[in-house]
Amino acid sequence: MSHDHDHDHESLDEQTLAPTLVPAARPSVWRSLAEFEGDAAVAAYARREFPTDDFDQLEADPTLAPDRRRFMQLLGASAALAGASSCRWEREEIMPHAVRPEDAPPGLRVTYSTVMDLAGAARPVRVECVDGRPIKIEPNEATGGGTDLFSQAAILGFYDPDRSRNVMQGAKSAAWSAALDGLRVAFAAGRGAVLASTSSSPTLHRLAAAARDAGIRWTWYSPLDRENAIEGARLAFGRPARVHHDLTKADVVLSLDSDFQREHPDANALADALASRRRPTVGSETGTAMSRIYAVEARFTSSGLSSDHRLPLRASDVGAFLELVEAKVAGATPSGAAAALAAHGKVGLFAEALADDLKAAGARSAIVVGDGQPAAVHARANGLLARLGAVGTTIFHTDEPLAGAGTKALKELVDALNGGAVDSLVILDGNPVYDAPAALGFRSALAKAKTVAHLSLYVDETSSEVLAQGGWHLPATHWLEAWGDARSFNGVAHIAQPLIAPLYGGKSALEVVAALLGPEATAEALVRTTFDALGGEGLDVRWRRSLHDGFVAGSAYERQALVAGAGAASALPAATAGIELNLFPCPKVLDGRFANNGWLQELPDSVTKLTWDNALYLGVQTAKRLAVTSGDMVRITAQGANLEAAAYVMPGHAEESASLALGYGRTTAGVIAGFKAAEVKSVGYDGYVLSGTSGRGIVGGVEVTKIAGHTRLALTQEHHLIDDIGMSGRAERLPQLAREGTLEEFQKDPSFAQHRVHLPPNMRSLFDLREYQGDHQWGMTIDLAACNGCNACVIACQSENNIPIVGKEQVKRGREMHWIRVDFYFQGDANDAETIDAVSQPVNCLQCENAPCEQVCPVAATVHSHEGLNDMVYNRCIGTRYCGNNCPAKVRRFNYFHYTKFMDKPGNKVLQLAQNPNVTVRSRGVMEKCTYCVQRISSARIKARNAQRMIADGEVVTACQSACPPNAITFGNILDETSAIAKQRKDPRAYAMLEELNIRPRTLYMAKVTNLNPKLADAMKQGAFQAGTIPVAHHSIVHNGGHNGGHAGEQHGAAPDHSNGGGH
């Protein structure tokens, strides 16, 4: 063989080295004039077999040509390696099936456990994949029910066409290898630093430690960092600690300026625990297990919504209020600021009643302090809880793994940059140019570093700044496409496994850091290394088990027994004069990281129902004083900076206080949130401008002035177009729609809610009523006592049912498409914040048995199924919209335009991958609405039929139900007497909204019960419990006792006989 090659070589040489042909004779056949003339060069060229081959180049320059020995070496090596091509080693491959395996029919749903890390707290989830693409986020029941809306919305974020796709250096795209080599060289020269977005990933923490060992400065920062809470714990206990709450054991809960059911890293678990004590049951001790919730807060939050008593208070007065409560609990006389505050309005009264309750509850009381409150307030709350004996019952402590992360650390980095101590900086995720406290000057400090790289999902404000400096932009992987790990608030570790190959060839923070520190490693190997450090038996099995279950068993933090010291009585910062400004992370887009997610932008805010915007929330009297109404533009001056923003007048907001959500006003985000370069207007107003050097929290001495201009806010509930007649109409009907009662009322008559409306006798229908036939009749209940308006159901439904977003202008036109919405009503006297309460009520299609929509559709596009669903047949619908008019719950949505058409654009086609293949993507001109997730019912039915059995209770879980953290939604077969839904329907709190229309809704509501403190019940009436707002039923109408399809009648035995209806 080698001989042959040798020979070939020689012959080649022979040819090329041969003297030029002598034109012996003119050829009679020729290709070109030059050949005819016998040009030597042409002749040589013509003789070459591979005239342009590199080999020939070598020949042209003999110095480059290999000698015979070298040639033989190469040849031998080639032959040897040719034989090695059949050898393989295990490689990580994630790819869609080119050839489908036999056991994977198309459309088969496979669910994997994984985890989302959100600013230092894990959100363990399961992800449903269809044909190798993630479609839907579901909660991981093994780690607790429900999901938040951020994880639900991650599907859209993952397929966002605006994600960055290339490594860039300056204005040019580059290769990963070049970038990593460049960074390695730069870091090798020393004075390297890493700025990482705060993460709970054990592997990233391990790598961070290694980096620090290697002399790299490592900084954790995210605007969501809980510095104050950590510092508060340090003050109280002498060392950083994490405070955990067990609200299932709390009889009295005090929320101090905290929206903990949304913003807390453990929000889902807290919401669930809180709700578990809000559903009074009937029995020997009817309703006694109910907790009582107090909320003291500036803006109206989910805590205010869930609370029994709410005190509107400026956030900067919360410390003094806590002092006041401390004094009352201790039986001491308050002094200073606390005493002054006590004289203000009903604060003293409220504190007195609260203190008595806390004292009585003792160990069974809990206090949750908002992360925006100063450290001293946290410290004092820790001290008070210790004194009440709550530690060990409702409160426990662990080490704080994220101590040191936050603004202070960022400030040190900025100083180091300015001091020339950092030459190379790698920014891992995060967007500090946008979200660092404005007065820190991060942007200008950044220019001091010689080499800068930003790893990010988007070319955002930070990336574009870095690129402008000639630095690197590195595309990051989304958590759905990367290996990783994260720890829950309680420490339980979870492993993130990729569901799909990286869409755009990104790398995760783990991989980038590993590449900086040494040899590149895959994220999987890095995570596995961390896992292996656990040691012990059967690592492989435990690894697979952990991957499958979605958590690492036995990894929770150990509880620490901490004793509160003198620091628990740290001096509070003085209350600020003038208007205070609360900068808080938006409950929808957080610190702005989700700003380019259309689902979240179009999601109506829980309280204000504001979409596609943030606004400066003002108290009613303050707004009146400033002559501002909702939508008016105001100038906010704080800490030497100005911001012009729209105002929103929020009932129940503390006076002389203003609140502004962070995360808006992005200039380099994408086509959703704003992109200056492409002339896409920013959504909302950038609150970071006002954040000084401290980031989120309270800013004192703010000036708010009205300026010219008015903007029409895109609200899905038009609170502000309501005239007096609208107001009175709403007040009149609300008690019948979202029914509420006091615990006292419930104890007297558990079925009180069913008597809020009395039905005319003998309600008959023109048409035959359907009978409950067959095996399954589906029904739903929604518990108003548990709902905190968190909106997770809305996003879950949007993701499951391919619901399009329509944009700000369409929302202003009232054309939002959500199939489930969370109605929110303020109650009380808007002019007096202390009387304000609210109720939220999720409304989806009620699936009326006697559906008004079905009767009026001329083409029979909406019809009843034999299982009791009100089906919508898109193919049949011609869009007369008559059904929408006739729907009393107004849950039908119409495709006024082809809202899904933009997905056909080549650049947006990736969004088609996010669509659920089991649900039709609707075209223009058809009606749509909630179907009780009929596709899930069908999947369960197929499984059950194949197994020749009934669908089991709990087998069909609707998207809204599964996402709901406090389990407010129950769904199932009402014919199955043992099912959860059948039991719920028999609960005396169950009532049918609008049943007087004889629509016979399948969705029932469970009335909200409020556990009033007798000391405040009359002295500080709020919301629905103000005099005269609970209606007295008409005496002339006879009560027919036939509520809720006849089920509720069984409960009436426990209650007085209402057949004369006169008592209500």
Partner 1 sequence: MVATDPIHGLPAGQDPRVRPTLVEGQNNFTTVTQMVAGIPEQPVAKTDKLWIALFALSVSVLGMLGICLAYLIHTGVGVWGNNNPVFWGWPIVNFVFWVGIGHAGTLISAVLYLTRQNWRTAVNRSAEAMTIFAVICAGMFPGVHVGRIWVAYWLAPLPNQMSMWPNFRSPLLWDVFAVSTYFSVSLIFWYMGMVPDLATLRDRSTNKWRRAIYGAFSLGWTGSSRHWHVYERAYLILASLATPLVLSVHSVVSFDFAVSQVPGWHTTVFPPYFVAGAIFSGFAMVLTLMIPARKYFNLGHIITLTHIDVMCRILMATGMLVGYAYMVEFFMAWYGGVMYEQFAFVNRAFGNYWWAYWIMVSCNVIFPQLFWSRKLRRNLVVVMLVSITTNIGMWFERFVIVVTSLSRDFLPSSWAYFSPTWVDMCTFIGSFGLFLTLFLLFIRFLPFVAMSEVKIVMPAAHAGHGDHGHSAAQSGAHNGETRHSTETGHHG
Near partner 1 by CB under 8 A: residue from 767, 948, 977, 1028: 767
Torsion-angle region of 277 (φ positive above 0: left; ψ -120 to 50: alpha; else: beta): alpha
Least separation in angstroms between CB 435 and partner 1? 34
SS3 label, residue 203: helix
Looking at 432-440, 617-625, 675-683, 893-901, which segment touches partner 1 (CB under 8 A)?
A: 893-901
Check: CB of residue 147 under 8 Å from CB of residue 550.
no
Helix axes 176-188, 509-517, angle to 10 degrees: 50
Near partner 1 by CB under 8 A: residue from 882, 910, 940, 1055: 882
Closest to partner 1 by CB, 997 or 1017: 997
Near partner 1 by CB under 8 A: residue from 881, 983, 1015, 1064: 881
Q: Which helix (H) or strand (E) holds 798?
A: helix 792-800
Round to whole Å and give the CA distance between 626 and 578. Answer: 13
Near partner 1 by CB under 8 A: residue from 358, 660, 661, 734: 734
Per the listing, tokens 């749903």 go with 109
In 3D space, the residue among 717, 771, 722, 743 whose CA is nearest the CA of residue 607 turns out to be: 717
CB atoms within 10 A of CB 190: 11
Residues 813-842 that bind partner 1 (CB under 8 A): 813-816, 821, 823-825, 841
Q: Report the 3 state secondary structure along 495-526.
A: EECCCCCCCCCCECHHHHHHHHHCCCCCHHHH
Least separation in angstroms between CB 183 and partner 1? 50
Near partner 1 by CB under 8 A: residue from 318, 661, 713, 843: 843
Strand residues in 745-873 grouped as ranges (E): 778-783, 821-827, 837-843, 862-864, 870-872
Told to check if 857 binds partner 1 by CB under 8 A, we report yes
Check: CB of residue 965 under 8 Å from CB of residue 985.
no
Told to check if 70 binds partner 1 by CB under 8 A, we report no
Residues 902-961 that bind partner 1 (CB under 8 A): 924-927
Provide the 8-state DSSP code for 817.
Answer: -
Residue type, 756: R
Looking at 116-124, 151-159, 882-890, 963-971, which segment touches partner 1 (CB under 8 A)?
A: 882-890
Helix axes 509-517, 523-532, angle to 10 degrees: 80
Closest to partner 1 by CB, 529 or 886: 886
Size of the site for partner 1 (CB under 8 A): 61
Round to whole Å and give the CA distance between 999 and 17. Answer: 99
Told to check if 418 binds partner 1 by CB under 8 A, we report no
What DSSP line would sit under 66-131, residue for residue?
A: --HHHHHHHHHHHHHHHHHTT-----------SS--TT--TT-EEEEEEEEEETTEEEEEEEEEET
Round to whole Å and give the CA distance between 304 and 609. Answer: 16
Structure tokens at 535: 């040691």
What DSSP line would sit under 745-773, residue for residue?
A: HHHH-TTGGGGSS-PPSS---SSPPPP--
Near partner 1 by CB under 8 A: residue from 855, 935, 939, 1029: 855
Residues 128-157 that bind partner 1 (CB under 8 A): none
Least separation in angstroms between CB 925 and partner 1? 3
Closest to partner 1 by CB, 335 or 728: 728
Closest to partner 1 by CB, 748 or 813: 813
In 3D space, the residue among 714, 609, 908, 931 whose CA is nearest the CA of residue 922 turns out to be: 931
Residues whose CB is less than 8 angstroms from the CB of residue 166 and which lie 6 or more positions away in sequence, other chains included = 173, 174, 475, 504
Told to check if 717 binds partner 1 by CB under 8 A, we report yes
Q: How far is CA 50 from CA 17, 33, 385, in A?
A: 15, 22, 86
Near partner 1 by CB under 8 A: residue from 151, 477, 895, 931: 895
Largest CA distance in the chain: 130
Looking at 444-452, 458-466, 505-513, 872-880, which segment touches partner 1 (CB under 8 A)?
A: 872-880
In 3D space, the residue among 832, 604, 817 whose CA is nearest the CA of residue 719 turns out to be: 604
Told to check if 1028 binds partner 1 by CB under 8 A, we report no
Closest to partner 1 by CB, 662 or 737: 737
Least separation in angstroms between CB 826 and partner 1? 11
Taking CB under 8 A as the rule, which mask of x and - marks residues 781-810 in contact with partner 1? -----------------------------x
Closest to partner 1 by CB, 52 or 1036: 1036
Told to check if 761 binds partner 1 by CB under 8 A, we report no
Near partner 1 by CB under 8 A: residue from 879, 917, 1041, 1042: 879
Near partner 1 by CB under 8 A: residue from 733, 909, 945, 1035: 733
Told to check if 552 binds partner 1 by CB under 8 A, we report no
Least separation in angstroms between CB 764 and partner 1? 14
Closest to partner 1 by CB, 542 or 864: 864
Check: CB of residue 1002 under 8 Å from CB of residue 848.
yes
Least separation in angstroms between CB 759 and partner 1? 12
Looking at 35-43, 183-191, 416-424, 848-856, which segment touches partner 1 (CB under 8 A)?
A: 848-856
Structure tokens at 97: 């099936």
Closest to partner 1 by CB, 175 or 859: 859
Structure tokens at 1049: 């009648």
Least separation in angstroms between CB 861 and partner 1? 9
In 3D space, the residue among 732, 735, 706, 710 whose CA is nearest the CA of residue 720 turns out to be: 710
Per the listing, tokens 């007295």 go with 1032
Least separation in angstroms between CB 915 and partner 1? 20
* Burial class (CB within 10 angstroms; exposed 0-12, middle 13-18, buried 19+) of 556: middle
Told to check if 631 binds partner 1 by CB under 8 A, we report no
Near partner 1 by CB under 8 A: residue from 68, 344, 898, 909: 898
Taking CB under 8 A as the rule, which mask of x and - marks residues 971-1010 in contact with partner 1? -----------------------x--x-------------
Least separation in angstroms between CB 1032 and partner 1? 13
Near partner 1 by CB under 8 A: residue from 592, 852, 972, 1061: 852
Torsion-angle region of 502 (φ positive above 0: left; ψ -120 to 50: alpha; else: beta): beta
Near partner 1 by CB under 8 A: residue from 170, 565, 631, 884: 884
Residues in contact with partner 1 by the rule CB under 8 A: 717-718, 721-723, 725-726, 729-730, 732-734, 736-737, 767, 810, 813-816, 821, 823-825, 841, 843, 852, 855-860, 876-882, 884-886, 888-890, 893-898, 924-927, 994, 997, 1034, 1036-1037
